[in-house]
Amino acid sequence: MSHPDLLRDILDETVDALGLRERLRAFRALLNWEEVVGKTVAAAAQPEALKEGKVFVAVKSSAWIQELRFQQQTILQKLNEYAGAPIFTELVFRVKPRSRKSPANAAQPEEQPVVEPELDAVTIARLHTLTEPIADAEMRAKVTEYLVAYHRLAMIRKQQGWRECSRCGCLHPGEGSECPFCRGDLL
C-alpha cells in the first residue's frame, strides 16, 4: 500500500470515528454553491451558515428572497444530491447586500426595504375566479395563495425596475427587452 493510500484510509477512518462524514459532505456542497445552484442564483445569494439541516442564506434583495422561496425545494434537492445524503432540510433567507470593495461604490445608499403591496379587489376576485374550478378546497386555497404571492412579487419587481420580456412576458432584472431564458443565457 502506498503512503497516499494509507493516509487516505487513516483519514477516512478518523472522519468516520469522529462522526464528521455528514458535516464534510454538507460543507463540500456549500463550498460548491455556484456549481450546485448556478451562476445566476449564486450571484444573488450565498450560504453563510449551516445549523441542524438549516442553511442560512444571505440574499442581495427582498425580491430575490421571494424568487428563491419559489425555488427552495429544487435547491434543497440539488444540495442533497450533491452531498449524497439528505442533509439539508430548510433554507432560511435574509437580505444582506454584499460588501462593496471599491470606495466609489461604498457611498451608495443601502437598499430600502420593500413594503409588500396589497392587491386590489378586482385582481383578488379574478384570482378566485381562476381557482374556482378546483374541486378540492385545500388545493384551491393553496393555488390561490400561490397566485396572490406571485402577483405581489411581480408588483415588487416592477417597483424595482424589472422589465417584461418582449418574447415570453416574464419579468427580468437585466438590460434589454428579452429575459435571460429567451436570450439563451441560462441554457
Residue-range domains of the chain with CATH:
33-99 (3.30.300.180), 112-187 (no CATH)
Give tens-digit pLDDT for 52-99.
889 999 999 988 999 999 999 999 999 999 999 999 999 999 998 665
Q: What is the 3-state secondary structure (H, E, C) of the chain?
A: CCHHHHHHHHHHHHHHHCCCHHHHHHHHHHHCHHHHHCHHHHHHEEEEEEECCEEEEEECCHHHHHHHHHHHHHHHHHHHHHHCCCCCCEEEEEECCCCCCCHHHHCCCCCCCCCCCCCCHHHHHHHHHHHCCCCCHHHHHHHHHHHHHHHHHHHHHHHCCCEECCCCCCEECCCCCCCHHHHCCCC
Distances from the Cα of 5 to the Cα of 11, 22, 186, angstroms: 10, 22, 41
Checking if the pLDDT of 45 tops 90, the result is yes
Cell numbers placing 185:
443565457
pLDDT (0 to 100) of residue 3: 57
CA 60 to CA 30: how far, in whole Å?
18
CA 127 to chain centre: 26
Residue 137, pLDDT above cutoff 90: no
pLDDT band at 162 (very low <50, low <70, confident <90, very high): confident
pTM recorded for the entire structure? 0.49
